[in-house]
Structure 1
Amino acid sequence: MDAKTLAQILEIAFDKKVSDVHFEIDNPPFFRGRGQLIRSRLPVLTPEDTEFIAKTILAQHGRELPAGPEEIDTSYALPHGGRFRVSIFRQRGHYGIVMRVIPPYVGTYKELHLPSVLEEIVQAPNGLILVTGPTGNGKSTTLAAMLRDMNERFTYNIITIEDPVEFVFKSNKSCIVQREIGIDTRGFSEALKAAMRMDPDVIMVGEMRDAETAEACLRAAETGHLVLSTLHTQSATSTISRLTGFFPPEAQDIVLQRLAEILVATISLRLVKDKSGEHILPVVEIMRNTTTIEACIREGRLEEIEKHIENGRVQYRMQTMDQHLIHLLKHDIISMEQAKRVSHSTDLERKLTFT
């Protein structure tokens, strides 16, 4: 493996519009396309190959491979501007690398098939907006579309804190400052504290990973800023439970009170294939913090939230994941098999019949 070969492999990834590239010893590179992992016909990788790839990636940021076992999240850019989010790890004592392709273009809500109600949600003057879902289901892409919208419409000072920086923005109406963990700052909580001294209107935190980061995000939202972040949860209810779970039991009632006051919305995502199998579409649950839902959060009646999301579809443009799935099924866009794969309920077909 040499730098030219690595560049050629990564160029193939962009040309073929794959989502991920895998480098592991005793296998050729793998590409993930349309959700499927595809074994390439390239030569089998040796331990020296994967170590070279890892070193090349880190060298771009002036970093070296650590001596001991350590997982590393970083980014890598090709000369023409193509970017990757990179995970470097050890397996069987050797290096493995997974590189997520970051599309060079930040799509609009319409281009990404996201609900247009996001245009209203990002107009909140302050509070907390959470984008949630499993890994690889469009959280970063959705956040990027929201930042693009703000950048085009509002005169904000936007600070992003990411590990690593994925989509790169140019300031338009807004001023955007992008900081990367490990390169520009040591960690999320440190960067959040610093961001408060940088005259922010909007703070985007790539991921809430621990209680310290969660507390810093809550505090920023409480002090008049709009905070956007992500969690690996699958619904509004599980998102609130996960957030409160960061804190000790004796503090959780207070956290619910705080969330009830500052939460603007949760946007939960899953990706499905359309009937042709050629396109990937988001299925989206939208919860907005109405007066009724605020009371549910404050009083810990989380099990009632989904019902209120369903009932708020017309007035507040909210929707459950099943409501979105039924819309896609009725318009013959996706198959029942795909719908059942992501639905939280066991009676989706009955709901379809009576809707």
Structure 2
Amino acid sequence: MQVHEIFRKAYEVGASDIHLCVNMTPAFRVFGGLSFQEGEKLTPEGTLAMVKELTTEAQWSLLSETGDIDFSMSIPGVSRYRVNIFLQRGCFSIAARIIPKDVPSLEALQLPAVVRWLANQQSGLVLVTGPTGSGKSTTLAAMIEHINQQFSRHIITLEDPIEYLHEHGRSVIQQREIRADTKDFSSGLRAALRQNPDIILIGELRDLETIHTALTAAETGHLVLSTLHTGDAIQTINRMVDVFPADQQGQIRVQLASVLQGVVSQRLWLNRERSERVAVVEVLVNTPAVANLIRTDKTHQIRSVMQTGGTYGMQTMDAHVRQLVKAERLPESALSSVIRWTENSDIS
């Protein structure tokens, strides 16, 4: 079977991911579980042919040099895919994430109304966090599309790779891919500040320099949207601060307390019918009380503020799980699982 046929079939059966590896049949991730397809096992020669079919000459050269590569691609009339190709035990493997053709709306994702409020802000820092595969990129894309439809803004995105493709609406959207359009997040972000943006989306805050520049951008009147692989709001704030040397952390707390607008932490859970995944969402809004706790290094007290902050749109993850169970959208087993999530929320 040709690789494009495999990609098409995965889309048709509603898979979220595709895994192609030597000595096994293609595997699709459907509702969180792996489903192995019928047919012959893949061979080293077969996977090599697939890799060469998927990559350009420049991508093949980079893959040969580094042993792995990320890129995005489209199959016309089917879908977009985020592809990672890598060497393991001397043979190529392919992992691909299926990206819907259309950018979903915030309403379609059934996210709390406060997420729309965060997207409406003119400056500051908004973070979307969670483990790999929790829908962070989709939430950010929906926020960008909301802005695009509602406001006249200049938006620059830095993505690795570009997933959703945005068309210009009321806003001008410039999408830059790491390695293809700019060297890395840090250099792309520095360049973006010279390109007269209103909004900057950074695919991931990966290092000290990128975090520092993002804070400065938010401080100088830009709205900055980004992600971290942290499990909840408190872990997110601590991670942002802990990246810096001890003698700088006090100043970073002050800066973060000033620019942070909010943190949206999410996970995906199978619904009661096991027919679709539901977003479980925690939201922190940076009120004066929260800002004071960040400044004074008392982040352990933020959870109690969130538990009583419903007026501001705040909610904890366990509270949202209880709400979804009560509404019969999640199974009862989710209640015990969320306890484990909150006890072990640093999932980087």
Alignment-derived partner of residue 138 in structure 1: 135
Alignment-derived partner of residue 202 in structure 1: 199
The 5 Å alignment of 1:215-254 reads 215-254=212-251
- C-alpha displacement at 1:79, in angstroms? 2.8
Residues in 2 aligned to 1:46 and 1:306: alpha-carbon distance in whole angstroms: 51
Equivalent residue in structure 1 for 2:321, among 306, 320, 325: 325
Residues in 2 aligned to 1:248 and 1:90: alpha-carbon distance in whole angstroms: 35
Residues in 1 aligned to 2:264 and 2:32: alpha-carbon distance in whole angstroms: 22
Alignment-derived partner of residue 337 in structure 2: 341
Residues in 2 aligned to 1:288 and 1:63: alpha-carbon distance in whole angstroms: 44
Residues in 1 aligned to 2:304 and 2:63: alpha-carbon distance in whole angstroms: 50
Residues in 1 aligned to 2:146 and 2:309: alpha-carbon distance in whole angstroms: 24
- C-alpha displacement at 1:61, in angstroms? 6.4
Alignment-derived partner of residue 107 in structure 1: 104
TM-score by length of 1: 0.93
- C-alpha displacement at 1:202, in angstroms? 0.2
Q: Deviations along 1:289-346, whole A, 9 cap, x unmatched?
A: 0000000000010001011011111x20110001101111222221121232234458
Q: What secondary structure is seen at the aligned counterpart in 2 of 1:67?
A: helix
Residues in 2 aligned to 1:26 and 1:323: alpha-carbon distance in whole angstroms: 44
Q: Deviations along 1:218-248, whole A, 9 cap, x unmatched?
A: 1111111000000000111000111112211
Gaps of 5+ in 2: 344-348
In structure 1, what residue type is equivalent to 2:35? I
In structure 2, what residue type is equivalent to 1:116? A
Equivalent residue in structure 1 for 2:181, among 181, 184, 195: 184
- C-alpha displacement at 1:278, in angstroms? 0.5
- C-alpha displacement at 1:64, in angstroms? 2.6
The 5 Å alignment of 1:7-26 reads 7-26=4-23
Q: What secondary structure is seen at the aligned counterpart in 2 of 1:177?
A: strand
Identify if the C-alpha distance between structure 1 residues 342 and 252 changes in structure 2 by more than 3 Å, giving closer, same or farther.
same
Q: How many residues align?
A: 342
Larger relative contact order (C-alpha < 8 A, sep ≥ 6)?
Answer: 2
In structure 2, what residue type is equivalent to 1:134? P
Identity %: 40
Residues in 1 aligned to 2:78 and 2:223: alpha-carbon distance in whole angstroms: 30
Structure 1 residue ranges (4+ consecutive) displaced by more than 6 angstroms after TM superposition: none
TM-score by length of 2: 0.95
Alignment-derived partner of residue 213 in structure 1: 210
Residues in 1 aligned to 2:217 and 2:104: alpha-carbon distance in whole angstroms: 28
In structure 1, what residue type is equivalent to 2:108? E
| RMSD of Structure 2 on Structure 1 (CA) | 1.5
Q: Deviations along 1:54-89, whole A, 9 cap, x unmatched?
A: 233221866535334533211121133621111111
